[in-house]
Every structure is written in structure tokens, then in C-alpha cells.
Chain A
Amino acid sequence: MFTEEEQKEITVELGKYPRKDAAGLEILKIVQKHRGWISDESLSEVARLIGQTSDEMDSVATCYNHIFRKPVGKHVIFVCDGMACWIKGYENILEYLSRRLGITMGQTSADGRWTLLPSSCLGVCEKAPVMIVDDDLYVELDTAKIDEILNRYK
């Protein structure tokens, strides 16, 4: 069952397109925002709403990098591994993050607080290296900055 809040946001998205199925991906994003990830149950619920089979919906969901079909931590960190960030040594940033959080790329910390994921070029190359935490962009990273950033997220 969609919550009232989810339903409200879904109605706005459906209004953008002449066909229901076009809003599928955007609805998945709404549901993910509220529930953290897309479980099989959530997937089927959205599929039914837009008139697709669960398999059709899953083929869409798995095509895109930012739909999570597995549970993720409370905060998701996307480390940019684009070429400008590579040139500017993003690997040091990743190594430091891994050490601080005790996880490697693709893992979620045991306390469920953090998930670490790679991102292709985030389009902020002039301020490399960069990363996104949840919805926030951080630029010109160094290890001192990372300590400060991580402390902001409880």
C-alpha cells in the first residue's frame, strides 16, 4: 500500500506523461525515497499501478544505476571515478573512506549507516575529486574534508 505522501507525489509524476507506464521509473524513485530501496513487494506494487508485469518493471529498474534492488545503508556515498577525478587521485579518497567506514566499494557497514558505491563522472570535473552523499555534492575533496563531511551525517 502506498502511503498518503507517496500517493501525492505519484499523482504529480503521472500528470507529466500521457501514458502511465512512462512514469514507472520516477515512481520507483519516489518509493525508494520513502522506503530506502525497492523490494520485490514495492516493485510489484508499482508495476501493478502502471499496468506492467513485475518482470517488465524489473527490467527497467535494473537498467538504472540509482534504483536499489537491495537494501542500502542510511546514507549512500557515491564516489566519482570519472577520468578527471582519477587524474586528481580519487583512489586516495576511496581508500580513506574504506578505512574510516570499514567497508569496500559496494558494501554496507555493519551498523547499517553507510553504503559505498562508485559513480561514473558526476560532471563537476573542474572541482575534482568529488562525491555525493545522499543528495549533497562535495567537491575538491581531501582526507581532512572527508572527516568533516562524515560527521555531518548521523
Chain B
Amino acid sequence: MEKPLTKNIKPDGGALSLSEYEKRGGYEGLRKALKMPPKEIQRIVTEANLLGRGGAGFPTGKKWDFVPMGEDVRKPKYLAVNADEMEPGSFKDRVLMEGDPNLVVEGAIISAYAVEAETAYIFIRWGYKLSTERMGKAIAEAYKKGYLGRNIMGSPYSLDMFIHTSAGRYMCGEESSLINALEGRRGVPRPKPPHSVTCGVWGRPTVVDNVETVANVPGIVTNGPEWFRKLSLTEEGGTKIYGASGKVKRPGWWELPMGTTIGEVIEDYAGGMSEGLKLKGLLPGGASTSFLTDKHLDVKMDFASMAKTGSGLGTGTITILDDKTCPVGLVDNLEKFFARSSCGWCTPCREGLPWVSKIMNAMEFGQGQEGDIELLEEHTFLLETGHTFCALAPCAMNPLRSALQYYRDDFRRHISEHRCPWK
């Protein structure tokens, strides 16, 4: 099984130096890319069917194709690599930045070249100290070797790359909030349109791509789109870094063909449930995805198949709920997080999320009342997409709505017994 994203990661999670990376074929992708017109790179990435790995699954080549190109466009253009991995339950971008920072940097350079960007920012969350250190080293070494800076590898193309480490705010993972944060403003979302691909950082065209997305680009350029599509078990190209956390025997991460099933990840790689526990449910790709149950173990983990379940692939890192852990307590934990993360800009989110959180907390601690379930259900409508300024509150409703569907009896018992049955 080919593992183009993680083949260089040492067993202890350590990273290769730049010269070791080069010996293993590193920067061959960039060498090849610089001999191709940028539009041609966009075309092969589209043909490879690389879908954005941040969670939304938008076709990367298509996104790049929206960027105004040529001599007449307003410059500079920007690439921002989204390494603000703050989605609860997600840790795949950290694995890549710590384990193969050179690959992420090479991928970012080729991606910037593909949209003719002059400046690239790597937006890394505050908490990722080791990622920041290793990415910083990889960028400094790339400058020394002439992979960054003026006239890269003797070509007419020049690019500067900087790290921006932010100071911790979940909202910044959303691309327009990330752009506000980069400009030194509050990390709150912007209205769309205009979209950032035409009007982003300081009003200039800006592409925001996830870490895992750009890490796929060197392989596509080196080996071609056919190779990339064949890595996958489905229509969607490439491999995917899956993960599992919670009470399984071997929590961790694995690079597997896109379309590996939920059951395979949990049973074959995570080693199944810990001793004496049964699977009660799972969040397949972070706090913003909906719960699934043991009825979904055969579902292929790609964007299209996961969307059909009413949940989503999200970040592909699964959080496991076992039968000795309270689902109401877990949802209480999630809604507290979302309430805390609201930027307060729009009323439904600012007022609605704390209300939901308060009801959940009361219920978990035995103070639930008749009518609470209906009130929560009402909120899943009030905070649905279209009723709020951005996707934060609608995402917060995904685990709640699905929990009300799959674990309704558990909610009821909290109210009727005036306690958490798990305590």
C-alpha cells in the first residue's frame, strides 16, 4: 500500500532533514512543476480529483481555477495554508507538520506557484509548538537551498513564505476569519461574496488550503493524476489520513486509501473497542459532524459516501463513543465548546448556543425538565444553515440533532430519573 503523505515519517514521529528529504525524492515535484505553466498544474490537480482535506471536500483544482491569473491582475496574490487545526477530535495536520514538514512546505510552494501567488502564510494554531518549530526549520532550509525566495531554482518565479501562529480562536479555521486574523483583526467571518479567491487578504486574491491538501500536491505533480486516482478505492483521488480516539485499543492515525470503511479503521487499525466496552456511536470527522452508529460500519470514508449518511467525512479523524460513556454528557461537552467559540456577531448563534449549552448541562446533572428535548429540537431548526451568519452554529447542531435521533431514550432517562444513568 502506497503512503505518499506519511512515508517519510520516522516511527517515533520524527522528521527528515532537508537533505534526507531530497535523497528520498523530495523537491522533485517542485522541479517538475516549475517547468509547467501554472494553469497546467491546476488542470492535473483537477484531473486527480483532489478534494479539500479541511473538511468541506471542495475540489482543489477548481478552487485554484477561480483565481484571476495573468499579468493584469492586482498583486500580490496570497496562499494561506490553513494549519489552524482546532476542530475537536482532529489531529491529522499536526501529524504531517511534525512528521514531514518538508513535504508540507514543498506542497505549499507548488500550490502557490499554481495560482501565481507571491506570498504564502502558514497559519498554525497557538498550541502546535512542535509543528511551528519544525515548519520554521523546513522553511529556513528551503530558503537556503533556493526553493524559496527570489527566482526559485533559477526560474522566473519568486515566493516568500512566513509562519503566522495566531493566539487561539476556533473561528479562525474558517477561511474568511483566518484572513481577518492574518490582517491583525478579530478572527470573525466575513460576508460572502466576495470570495477570498478573488478578494482575500488586503483585498487581493487569496487561496486558503488545508495542510493535508497541499501535502498531496507534490505527489500529483511527480506521478501524475492517474497514479493519484488509483491510490483511492473510490472516485475521490488519493489516500487519506484517518484517525481514531476515545476508548479503542490502539488510538492513533493511519494513512489509508480514500474510501476505507469506518469499520476497517476501527477494527483493523484502532484494534477495536477497549476491553469490556461496546461501540455506542462515533463522530466520524470532528465535533461538527453528526453521530453515526454500528449500523454505519460498512460506509466508505470518502466525502460522497459519508454525506449520504447525513453525517460527513469532516477531518476523517473518528471519535469513538463507548457504551460506558454518557452520550448526553458528550453532547454537553461539545455544546459548551461551541457556545464558548461563538464570536457573538449574529444573534441566533450568540444567544442560541449558550441556551443549548445550559439545557444540556442541566440535563446531564439531573436538572432536566419536561419539554427540554423539544426545546433542543427547536434549536436545531433555529440555528440551521441559512439562519446564521456563518457555519459555526449549524455545525454545532449536527452532533445535537443526530444524538437526539440515536440516543433519544438516553436523553429521556436523564429527565425522568433526574440524574445521569452513567454516573
Contact = CB atoms under 8 A, between A and B. Distances in A.
Tell me whether A and B are bound partners: yes
A125 B184 contact: no
A153 to B, nearest CB: 16
B186 interface: yes
A26 to B, nearest CB: 7
A117 B188 CA distance: 23
A119 B166 contact: no
Contacts, number: 134
Interface stretch (B21-29, B239-247, B349-357): B239-247
B202 A19 contact: yes
Contact of A84 (B126, B246, B252): B246
Contacts of B166: 25, 64
Contacts of A127: 251
A60 B87 contact: no
Given A60-B186, A64-B168, A120 B340 contact: yes
Interface residues of B, number: 58
A25 B181 contact: yes
Interface string B117-133: 00001000111111000
B169 A65 contact: yes
Contacts of B164: 16, 26
A66 interface: yes
Interface residues of A, number: 42
Given A86-B333, A88-B247, A128-B245, A121 B184 contact: no
A144 interface: no
A64 B167 CA distance: 5
B163 to A, nearest CB: 8
A65 B84 CA distance: 14
A136 B127 CA distance: 9
Interface string A5-45: 00000000000111101111110110000000000000000
A83 interface: yes
A120 B330 contact: no
Interface of B: 76, 85-91, 93-94, 121, 125-130, 162, 164-170, 181-188, 202, 243-247, 251-253, 283, 287, 317, 319-322, 325, 329-330, 333-334, 337, 340-341, 343
Given A63-B187, A82-B337, A86-B329, 4 more contacts: A24-B184, A60-B185, A83-B88, A121-B337
5 contacts: A21-B184, A28-B167, A83-B337, A87-B246, A126-B245
